[in-house]
Chains A and B, each alone.
Chain A
Amino acid sequence: MIEGFRLGVFSRGRTLWDGLDIAIPDGSAQIVAGPPSSGKTLLLSILRGERRPDAGDVLVSGESLYRGAAGLSRSWRASCGYVPEPSAVDAGLTVADLFRRSALAGGGMRESERKERAARLLEMVGMQGASEWRFPELSASERARATLAAELLRGPKVLFCDGVVAAAGVPFREMLRGLFRALAREGNTVVLVERTIPERWAAAAGDPDPAGPFRVYRLPVPGAAVKGEPG
C-alpha cells in the first residue's frame, strides 16, 4: 500500500498543490489524470521516493519514505519500475541497452536469459525483433513501449509510468490496458499518470476520486478486485 498524506509542493514561487491525500492499494492499477503543468511527474517522483515533498509524507507498507531510515527510500526505488516520459537520450543507445541497464539495476542476469526474456517482452509490446534498433530513431510510441518492456524485465512489484498511454498511441492502448490489468491481477501495483485517459478506460473505471488537481481512476482488475483494498 502506498499512501500519500497531506502532500504539498511549492514550485516556481507558488503552491502547486497542498493537502493532497492519495492511497494506492497493492495489486491495483490506478491512473492519476491531471492537466498540463499540474505536477503529475512531480507526484510520481514523490511517490517513488525520489523527491521529498514540501509538506506531508509518503508511507509504503506503513513506513515513512522521507522520515524513516535513509536506506528505505533507496530500497523502495530499487524495487520499483519507472517508465519516464520520453526525453533526449544518448545517440548510441539501442533497445538492447535498455534491457542491459534494467538487468544491471535488478542485480544482474545471465546474458542468454536476458536476451530471451527481452525478446519475449518486446514481442508482448508489439516490437518483435527491435533489440538492435537505435533508441533515438524510435517513435515516441516505440520508445514508451520499449522502455516499459525493459522495466518489466526486472519484474518490479510496483510500476510507475509517466505518460505511457498517451505516448503509446491509439493502436496500442488496449494492449497496454490488458497488460496493466494482468500485472495487477498477479499482485503488482501499477501507477500511471496521464493528462487524460481514454474514454473506454474511463467508462470501465467509473467515477474518479478527486485528489487535489488530479482525478484518480482505478482500472478494474478481474479476479483481484478486492486485493489490498483498505478497510
Chain B
Amino acid sequence: MTGRPNLWWIDWRLSRGSLVIEAVGRFLFFSFLGFVLLSLLLSGGAFRFLAGNYAVTAVLRPDVPAAEAQGLARKVAALPPVRSAAYRDPEAAWKEFLRSYPGMEALRDDGGNPLPGYIEVRFLPDRLTLADVDLVASALRSVSLVEQVLAGEEGLPRLLRAGRFASLVCWGVFGAFLAGFFLVGTLQERARAVDLAGDFTFLAERGVPPVRLAVFRSAGAAVSGFLLAAAGTASGGGALFLLLRKFPFLEAVIGSPADLLLPRTAAAAVLFSCGAALLCAAAVLLGWRAARPRRT
C-alpha cells in the first residue's frame, strides 16, 4: 500500500468535524445572501418601488369616445417601456376624485361631469429612465385625443437619482456581506491550514508536492463552495417565494414570486454560485500561505 494519495476532499478526511460546522454556517449564510440577492434582482434595488408609484397620466379631451380611448390605451401598453396602460372613463375619474377629496359633490350640482377621462401609464422597473419616460410622453402628446400629459418631468431626474443611490446602497451592503464572508472564510482556512500543517508536512515528506496539495484543496473548496452556494440560494429563493405568497403587498416592492422562476433569475443564481466557489477557492489559497509544508 504505497500508492499515490488521493487528494480530493483531503480536508474532509483530515478535519471532518470543523468542516461540517463550517459547511452548516456557510449554507446558512449563503441562504441569507441568496435571499438578499434574489430580492435585489427582482426589485431592481429601489426601482420596482419607484415604478409602482410613478405614473404618466394622459388627460383625454372631454369628447373622446370610450372605444377610441381604450384603443389608445392598448397601443400605449404595447410600447416597450410600458408595464401597463389603463383607461379610466370620466365616471371612474369622478369617483376617484371624490375618494381623494370627499365633500366636493357640489361641483356636479349642474349634472355634468367636470372631469375628463384619462390613461394611466406605468413603467417596467428596469425601463424607468428619463429617455423612456420622454419617449412615452412624446408619443402621447402627438395624439390628437390627448389634451395634456402629466409626466412630472421636472422632478423626475431627482427621483431617478435617489433611486439609483438607494440601489447602490443596497448592492453595496450586499457586497459588504460578500467581503465579510471572504474575510471570515480566509481566516477559517488559515486556521485550518495551521491546524493541518503537520499533516501537510508529513505528506510533503512522502513525495506529495505542496502545489498539488494546494490545488486539490482549493478545487475541493470551489466545488463544495459552489454546491453550498447553489443550495443556499435555492433555499433563500424558496423562503422569498413563500414570503411573497404570504404577504402579497411585498410584491409592490420586491416583485412577483413567479419572477423567481425566470431563466435570467436562475442564471444570476448560477453566476452567484460560481462567484462564491471562486471566493472559497481563493480563501483556501490565501489561508494556505500560513501553513505551507516545511521541507526538512
In Å, the complex CA distance between A49 and B209 comes to: 13
Contact (Cβ within 8 A) A80 B206:
yes
Interface of B is mostly: loop
Contact (Cβ within 8 A) A78 B6:
no
Contact (Cβ within 8 A) B1 A155:
yes
Given contacts A74-B207, A77-B205, A77-B206, contact A50 B2 (CB under 8 A): no
- Whether a CB of chain B sits under 8 angstroms from the CB of A141 is no
Contacts of B203 in A (CB 8 A): 101, 104-105
Contacts of A76 in B (CB 8 A): 207
Q: Total interface residues on A, using CB and 8 Å?
A: 32
In Å, the complex CA distance between A107 and B5 comes to: 4
Contacts of A75 in B (CB 8 A): 207
Q: From residue B173, how far is it (CB to closest CB) to chain A in Å? A: 39
Q: From residue B43, how far is it (CB to closest CB) to chain A in Å? A: 48
Contact (Cβ within 8 A) B296 A78:
no
Scan residues 146-165 of chain A and give those whose CB is less than 8 A from a CB of chain B.
153-157
Contacts of B1 in A (CB 8 A): 103, 106-107, 109, 153-155
Contact (Cβ within 8 A) B296 A50:
yes
Contact (Cβ within 8 A) A78 B207:
yes
Contacts of A107 in B (CB 8 A): 1-6
- Whether a CB of chain B sits under 8 angstroms from the CB of A212 is no
Contact (Cβ within 8 A) A50 B14:
no
Among residues of B, the one whose C-beta sits closest to the C-beta of A101 is: B202
In Å, the complex CA distance between A73 and B1 comes to: 18
Q: From residue B76, how far is it (CB to closest CB) to chain A in Å? A: 69
- Whether a CB of chain A sits under 8 angstroms from the CB of B208 is yes
- Whether a CB of chain A sits under 8 angstroms from the CB of B99 is no
In Å, the complex CA distance between A49 and B296 comes to: 11
Scan residues 179-201 of chain B and give those whose CB is less than 8 A from a CB of chain A.
195, 197-199
Contact (Cβ within 8 A) A78 B208:
yes
Contacts of A93 in B (CB 8 A): 198
User: Taking each of A49, A74, A76, A157, which has the highest tally of chain B beta carbons within 10 Å of its own beta carbon?
Assistant: A74
Among residues of B, the one whose C-beta sits closest to the C-beta of A87 is: B296
Q: From residue A183, how far is it (CB to closest CB) to chain B in Å? A: 14
Contact (Cβ within 8 A) B296 A45:
yes
In Å, the complex CA distance between A73 and B51 comes to: 68
Q: Total interface residues on B, using CB and 8 Å?
A: 22
In Å, the complex CA distance between A73 and B14 comes to: 25
- Whether a CB of chain A sits under 8 angstroms from the CB of B242 is no
Scan residues 239-296 of chain B and give those whose CB is less than 8 A from a CB of chain A.
295-296
Contact (Cβ within 8 A) A105 B296:
no
- Whether a CB of chain B sits under 8 angstroms from the CB of A169 is no
Scan residues 4-35 of chain B and give those whose CB is less than 8 A from a CB of chain A.
4-6, 10, 13-14
Which listed residue (B5, B195, B209, B295) contacts A104, Cβ 8 A? B5
Which listed residue (A77, A90, A109, A157) contacts B207, Cβ 8 A? A77
Which listed residue (A49, A89, A104, A157) contacts B10, Cβ 8 A? A104
Among residues of A, the one whose C-beta sits closest to the C-beta of B205 is: A82
- Whether a CB of chain B sits under 8 angstroms from the CB of A108 is yes
Contacts of A156 in B (CB 8 A): 2
Among residues of B, the one whose C-beta sits closest to the C-beta of A93 is: B198
Contacts of A78 in B (CB 8 A): 2, 4-5, 206-208
In Å, the complex CA distance between A104 and B202 comes to: 10
Contact (Cβ within 8 A) B296 A84:
yes
In Å, the complex CA distance between A90 and B195 comes to: 8
Contact (Cβ within 8 A) A108 B6:
yes
Contacts of B6 in A (CB 8 A): 107-108
Contacts of A106 in B (CB 8 A): 1-3, 5
Contacts of B2 in A (CB 8 A): 78-79, 106-107, 154-157
In Å, the complex CA distance between A106 and B14 comes to: 14
Contacts A50-B296, A101-B203 supplied; 4 other A-B pairs, CB < 8 Å: A101-B198, A101-B199, A105-B206, A157-B2
Closest 9 CB pairs of A and B: A107-B3, A77-B207, A78-B207, A74-B207, A106-B1, A105-B206, A79-B2, A90-B198, A101-B202
Q: List 13 contacting pairs A-B, 8 Å CB cutoff, sorted by A.
A: A50-B205, A74-B208, A77-B206, A78-B2, A78-B208, A90-B195, A90-B198, A101-B199, A104-B13, A104-B14, A107-B4, A154-B2, A155-B2
